[in-house]
């Protein structure tokens, strides 16, 4: 009798163990949820000279005016950056680029309100428009170091290209800066003679079929072809305009017109 009871109990225990084991196996074999698909889109800012990568402080360059120069640093704002899809505009925002801060050359736009699909162009304002260009907008470096003198219109530099050019048998400072221009009364360039200001920011539109797809990383390269600042449609002579042009609207206007033409191009990398 006792042996029979013992056998019954053992069978029950075996059945319970089997049920538990089957349950564990079923749970472990249950299909795991797929990883949430994500957009991985980056915008990268590259700088080239005559088709080659610009090497700061070492790429010896010449332009159509015959100037010999090298570039030490490039700093600029791009604002109101937008992608276009089916006539709809996706505003990405404003970004600051500074070759002294390599992390600013990469802009992760994955988390922004983009949707999958084909985009046909990228646009941006080179510099800051008047809505964004006001004193003390940026209080922390490196952006704060781009402040434009209040006496010359205030706000911020749109761009700084700094380096040196060769003239009169010596290397001279080259500071090609773009920002608000001034209108002076008469021939004087004294700040007391300023009667108005000129916005020198400009629009750039780059056309390219851009496919944004989930789980397919995409890099959008925005390329500054630096030699174009000095060449097209106007030849920019560094020796003529000197190393400081913040009070010379004629020189800044040449840079503005050249910048609108073909300084910027786009490349895609999957």
| pTM, 2 dp | 0.85
Instruction: Dump pLDDT digits (tens) for 28-74.
Output: 444 444 444 578 999 999 999 999 999 999 999 999 999 999 999 99
Q: What is the mean pLDDT of residues 90-117?
A: 93
Per the prediction, the chain carries an average pLDDT of 88
* pLDDT grade for 18, boundaries at 50, 70 and 90: low
Longest dimension (CA), the chain: 124
pLDDT in tens, 172-213: 999 999 999 999 998 888 999 999 999 999 999 999 999 999
Give the pLDDT band (50/70/90) at residue 12: low
> What does each C-alpha distance from 253 to 62, 150, 190, 230 come to in angstroms?
21, 20, 20, 12
29 dihedral zone (left: phi>0; alpha: psi -120 to 50; beta): alpha
The domains of the chain are located at: 1-32, 41-269
Q: In sequence order, what are the residues at sequence separation of 6 or more whose Cβ sits closer than 8 angstroms to the Cβ of residue 153?
A: 179, 180, 181, 182, 197
Sign for the pseudo-dihedral over CA of 68, 72, 77, 81 = positive
User: What residues contact residue 223 under an 8 Å CB cut-off, 6+ apart?
Assistant: 45, 46, 47, 48, 264, 265, 266, 267
**Separation of alpha carbons 76 and 113, rounded Å:** 25
- Tell me how far apart the alpha carbons of residues 178 and 266 are, in angstroms, rounded to a whole number: 22
Token pair 């221009």 is at which residue?
Answer: 181
């Amino acid at each position: 009798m006792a042996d029979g009871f013992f056998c019954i109990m053992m069978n029950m225990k075996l059945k319970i163990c089997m049920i538990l084991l089957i349950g564990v196996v079923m749970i472990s074999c249950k299909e795991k949820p797929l990883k949430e698909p994500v957009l991985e889109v980056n915008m990268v800012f590259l700088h080239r000279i005559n088709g080659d990568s610009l090497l700061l402080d070492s790429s010896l360059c010449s332009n159509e005016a015959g100037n010999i120069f090298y570039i030490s640093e490039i700093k600029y704002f791009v604002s109101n950056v937008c992608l276009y899809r089916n006539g709809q505009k996706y505003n990405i925002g404003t970004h600051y680029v500074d070759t002294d801060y390599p992390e600013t050359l990469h802009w992760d736009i994955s988390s922004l309100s983009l949707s999958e699909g084909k985009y046909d162009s990228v646009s941006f304002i080179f510099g800051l428009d008047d809505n964004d260009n006001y004193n003390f907008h940026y209080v922390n470096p490196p952006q704060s170091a781009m402040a434009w003198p209040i006496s010359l219109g205030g706000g911020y530099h749109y761009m700084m290209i700094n380096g040196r050019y060769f003239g009169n048998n010596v290397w001279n400072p080259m500071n090609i800066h773009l920002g608000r221009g001034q209108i002076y009364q008469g021939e004087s360039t004294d700040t007391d003679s300023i009667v108005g200001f000129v916005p020198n920011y400009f629009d750039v539109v780059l056309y390219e079929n851009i496919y944004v797809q989930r789980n397919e990383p995409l890099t959008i390269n925005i390329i500054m072809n630096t030699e174009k600042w000095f060449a097209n449609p106007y030849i920019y002579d560094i020796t003529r305009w000197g190393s400081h042009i913040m009070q010379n609207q004629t020189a800044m206007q040449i840079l503005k017109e050249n910048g609108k033409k073909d300084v910027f191009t786009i490349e895609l990398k999957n």
